[in-house]
Every structure is written in C-alpha cells, then in structure tokens.
Amino acid sequence: MKTSNLTHYIYGIADNALILGQRLGELCGHGPNLETDIALTNMALDLLGQTRSYYQYIAKLSTDNLTEDDVAFLRKENEYRNVLLVEQPNTDFAYVITRQYFFDVFHFLLLEQLQKSTDVNLMAIAKKSIKEVGYHKRFSGDWLIRLGDGTEVSHQKAQQAIDDLWMYTNELFDLSTQDKTVIDAGYGANSKDLKEKYYAELTQTLTKATLQIPENKYFQDGGKNGVHTEHMGYILADMQYMQRTYPNMKW
C-alpha cells in the first residue's frame, strides 16, 4: 500500500479533530456557566492533543521533512479533508451542542473500529483517544436531551440546530478511493459500516429529547474532497496567522 494513501486517510480523521477543536477554542470564556465553559475548553484540548498524534505520524511518514506545525498551519484550504459539519459556526449554545453530538457519536464508533487497525500507530491513538471521546459523547448527548426536553425556548433552539445541521451528517461516511485502499489493507476503519448504528443512536437520543428527525433527505458534502463552506477560510485565517506572519518562529 502506498504511503500517500495512508497519509490521505489520516488527514481525513485528524483534520476533523483540528477544526472542531479550533471551533470549541473560540468559546473559551464564553460558556453559559463556568463548569460548561471549562468542559468545552477541555474538549478542545482533547481534540487538539489527538490531532498532534495524527500529525506527528504524518510527519514521520513524510519524505519532505515536514513537522506537525507544517501540517497543521501551512496547508491551503483545499488541502484540508475535514467534513463540513465541524466547520459550522458557533451560532448559539444549541448549535454548539448539536454539532458536537452529531460528530461525537460518529467519532466514538470510528475509534472503536480503529482500535482493531493493523497499523500499530493508529491503533494506539485510537485506544488513547476513545476514553476522551466517550466523555465528549456523554457530555453533548446529555446536554442535547436537557435542551430538547427543557423549556419551550431551549426546545425550539435545539430543533432549529438539528434541522440546520442534519444535512452535514451523511458526509461522515463518504470514502475516497485512497480511503478504500487503506481499509482493504486492514489499516483503516470502514465508516460505511457505522452508518446504520450511527443513525440509530441519533434517533434514540433525539426521541428521548422530544426532538424531531428532519424529513429533509438532502445532504451536503465536499469537505473531504477539499471543497469547504465559506466559514473555512475565516477559521484558517485566524488559526494560521502566527505561522504565516512569522515563518519558522519558535517558542
């Protein structure tokens, strides 16, 4: 199997964690209460820590003497392979929680499978990360239930977030030709096998939260192929500023 295929596959996992971690980092100091604020910040740090592990592995596989900083900060927008879901803005707390839960359920199922990888590095990252992601899923799931089954206002806001973000969930299961090669080699987890279980878990939680599953069957994609929403450029402008303004700077 080509190293480039494996690198491509890892980007598809790591970039999700990076961009969602960046989004959560924007909320530091802006949570609805101190406990929730700290929890969201810690989740951002968890995701960035996982990102570092993936990017360090990519740098190790590279023949271009890349560092993890190069991988994170010096790529162009169309070189990032994150799904569109994670780059959606922090519209309000309901959007933050819904976006998080939609991703957390998938992330946990993916890491469960990735623990069986024949690649010792990916297996180790998955085993280390799954405990963190398990907490993320419990946190976001519990909050979604509280919002949905709470006040009239919280229910309305949660339903609006679900209606708006549902269209981005199906892309989580898209596979490129490179991805399929890595999966066939036993290195990667086949996300398509997770789809039925994913939507079953979402349905169970939304039912408990007295929220409705959107009837709209139209789904958006493109992020995994480098075609992003208008939000992505603003994320990268903020995230990459220091490295691009002061190249090769060291702390």
Tens-place pLDDT, residues 147-189: 999 999 999 999 999 999 999 999 999 999 999 999 999 999 9
| Signed CA dihedral, 124, 188, 56, 60: sign only | positive
DSSP designation for 87: G
pLDDT at 251: 59
Domain boundaries, the chain: 3-245
Cα distance between residue 163 and residue 168, in whole Å: 10
CATH of 3-245, one of 1.20.1260.10, 3.40.50.20, 3.30.1490.100, 3.40.50.720: 1.20.1260.10
Ranges of H-type helices in 86-229 = 93-114, 120-148, 152-165, 177-184, 195-208
* pLDDT-derived band at 217, boundaries 50, 70, 90: confident
Cα distance between residue 139 and residue 226, in whole Å: 30
pLDDT at 1: 61
pLDDT at 166: 97
Higher pLDDT, 101 or 4: 101
* pLDDT-derived band at 250, boundaries 50, 70, 90: low
Q: Is the pLDDT of residue 248 over 90?
A: no
pLDDT at 247: 83
pLDDT digits (tens, 9 = 90+) for 45-103: 999 999 999 999 999 999 888 899 999 999 999 999 999 999 999 999 999 999 999 99
- Tokens 């819904």 locate to 98
Give percent above pLDDT 90 in the chain.
86
Q: What is the mean pLDDT of the chain?
A: 94
Residues 44/29, Cβ–Cβ less than 8 Å: no
Region 197-216 average pLDDT: 95
Token pair belonging to 249: 């700077």
Q: Is the pLDDT of residue 25 over 90?
A: yes
End-to-end CA distance of the chain: 37
pLDDT at 141: 98
Residues 101/137, Cβ–Cβ less than 8 Å: yes
